[in-house]
Amino acid sequence: MNQPQPQPRPRAALPTPRRRRQLRQTLRASRLILPLSLLALSIAPALLAGISMSPKADAWLERHSADRHWVRIYRAHVPPVEELRPLAALPEAKDWWPVERYYSRFERWFSDHLGWRNLMIRAKNELDYRLFNSSTRVYFGKDGELYGRNLIDNEMPATERLLADPERAQAVYDGVLAFSEQLRRQGVTMLLVAPIQKQYYTRERLPAFAPQVPDDSHFLALYQRLKAAPQLHFIDVKRHLDENRDKFPIFYKQDFHWTDLSAMVVAADVTDSIAKLEGSRLRWRHAMQPDYQPFVGSEARFAARLNLKEQVIEPQLKQTWTARHHDTPAAANSGWEFSTDALDDPSLLPATCMYGNSFSDGMLRAGLTEHFRQFHKLSRTLPLTQVPALLHGQCRYLIVQVLDIQTDRWASLAPAP
């Protein structure tokens, strides 16, 4: 039986000359889409930077765009990047000579104020984390641990270099004792608190390529000497960290600070030590009650990733006491941060001052001030050598908190010959 023969398909009609011209024009236009898009993406940030040169233009743009929905979404998801330095200022036109210096300053300003700079930095950091688990700002350790690169690469080695020279280490030791004696002659008793970095306790979580801190570091050698000095009232922070490392988190995972739980233990030791010196029966009154909450630490913020939703659960300190003191902020440039009101309660300890950085803030959050009739906090930016001059008649005790990596503070007590 004969099979039917397949019918040939009709040939498609060839495009007309007009249609061919339209296709060629469309193809040429499509080739311009990518370069034009890149040009727009390049021009827009430059325009935004240019607008910021004029305060009036910048204020006008803020008034007319701040309430727009897409602007609010952008600002909610792309906050400003935290910096370790102030952003470069726009050079004044009158300083145009020499030209090369003016251009260099203008270039630094332009780089720091480029439109969408925060988005570009955060996007780049997010890609580095997702693809390579690395960052130029932090070390990503095991179990979600974060470490600031500047602390590990620069600040800790700076202290080690200072104390590596036996003569300089001896000068620092002698300087601490001389500082304490100077205060004693003024009628002020010093208690020294020297917190150490969390790398001593979490070195196994550091990346293999990150610098490691040895157990026999030069700072720990100084620490042990200060601890053993009979004329010094030294709060053994390391002992408290060693004893409590298996009881509660002693450091935050995504922050270089000790937790407020650790700060409370140290604050209790400070309070009890002063009470013993006073012959007082008062002892630390506040119970420790951890409260685990989502927390974004300083290293997590400084990592400047695009994804801000990743939070870890960290221990906070629940206030179990009723505050009696009211803090009054000090005047600017006075050398002080705040003073509490004076309580007429003889059971409390005498007026006390504190000098310290953000680690001392944890001790304050733990309720340290509530054990004293009055409490004064010195400015953390004040050079340590200027402290004694401010203390006359203010307090009987001075709590000095200096971090192991505060090289300038240690060095200030032992000026170079």
pLDDT at residue 44 greater than cutoff 80: no
Partners of 412 in the β-ladder: none
Domain ranges for the chain, please list them. 57-114, 139-412
- Which pLDDT band holds residue 303 (cuts at 50, 70, 90)? confident
Q: Percent of the chain having pLDDT more than 70?
A: 84
Alpha carbons 371 and 350: distance in angstroms, whole number: 9
Partners of 15 in the β-ladder: none
Alpha carbons 134 and 266: distance in angstroms, whole number: 34
Alpha carbons 356 and 256: distance in angstroms, whole number: 16
Give which of 416, 413, 415, 417 is closest to 178, Cα–Cα: 413
pLDDT for 229-243, tens place per residue?
Answer: 999 999 999 999 999
The helix (H) or strand (E) run that includes residue 278 is helix 260-278
HEC profile for 142-174? HHHCEEEHHHHHHHHHHHHHHHHCHHHHHHHHH
pLDDT at residue 360 greater than cutoff 80: yes
Q: Give the per-residue pLDDT at 49.
A: 62
Q: Give the per-residue pLDDT at 72.
A: 75
pLDDT at residue 24 greater than cutoff 90: no
Of 49-53, 195-199, 268-272, 358-362, minimum mean pLDDT range: 49-53
Q: What is the mean pLDDT of residues 328-338?
A: 95
| Token output for 165 | 């020279």
pTM of the model: 0.79
Q: What is the mean pLDDT of residues 339-356?
A: 97
- Which pLDDT band holds residue 2 (cuts at 50, 70, 90)? low
pLDDT for 121-136, tens place per residue?
Answer: 788 878 878 787 788 8
CA-based diameter of the chain, in Å? 126
Q: Give the per-residue pLDDT at 362.
A: 97
Which of the two residues, 8 and 1, has the higher pLDDT score?
8
pLDDT at residue 204 greater than cutoff 60: yes
